[in-house]
Amino acid sequence: MEHLRLQIFDDHDYMNVQYGAKRSVVRPSHTMYVATLMAMVWCLDFDYVTKMRYNKEKDLVFVTKPDRFWGETEHVYEMHHLEQMVPSAVTAVKDMSSKDENGIMTVHCMAQNEQMKFYKDQKFWNNDLRPEFENETRGLWETTHADKYTGRIF
């Protein structure tokens, strides 16, 4: 008759303290880290304009921006809804990016609540159309500081 050997304990990996800590602490922490990292990648800033074109009447703007799937998407905006954002307050006016010739200009679409960021460097612009675009998009704040009776408060 054979002797039947009974094992009282199970010596698999999941029965020790280190593996228990790994399952209860390390794996959930790593999962939260990866989920946070993916959320941060999803919320990256995709507002930079890669190409902009007018229609013939110059009342529509066709803007190409990168999308989240490594491609580009074309968006259509009406020109009268676009406004440059008031430069944010910083402690040194001379260091503001809106004052820099090579800085970044932020244009906001008031109808769709979307932002577009343009490089201000001359090499990215058609020099014949740039002054007109800038004048059309500065309607809310360009002359508001000139006279308190004609200025707009927003």
- Answering whether pTM is above 0.75, one says no
Picking from 96, 105, 36, 49, the residue whose alpha carbon sits closest to that of residue 77 is 49
pLDDT at 7 over 70: no
How far is 108 from 145, CA to CA, in rounded Å? 20
How far is 96 from 141, CA to CA, in rounded Å? 17
H-helix segments, the chain: 17-21, 27-42, 130-136
| pLDDT tens for each residue of 99-109 | 667 778 889 99
Contacts of 33 (CB under 8 A, 6+ apart): none
**Which amino acid is present at 142?**
E
Helix/strand/coil for 111: coil
How far is 154 from 142, CA to CA, in rounded Å? 13
| pLDDT tens for each residue of 14-31 | 567 777 777 788 888 999
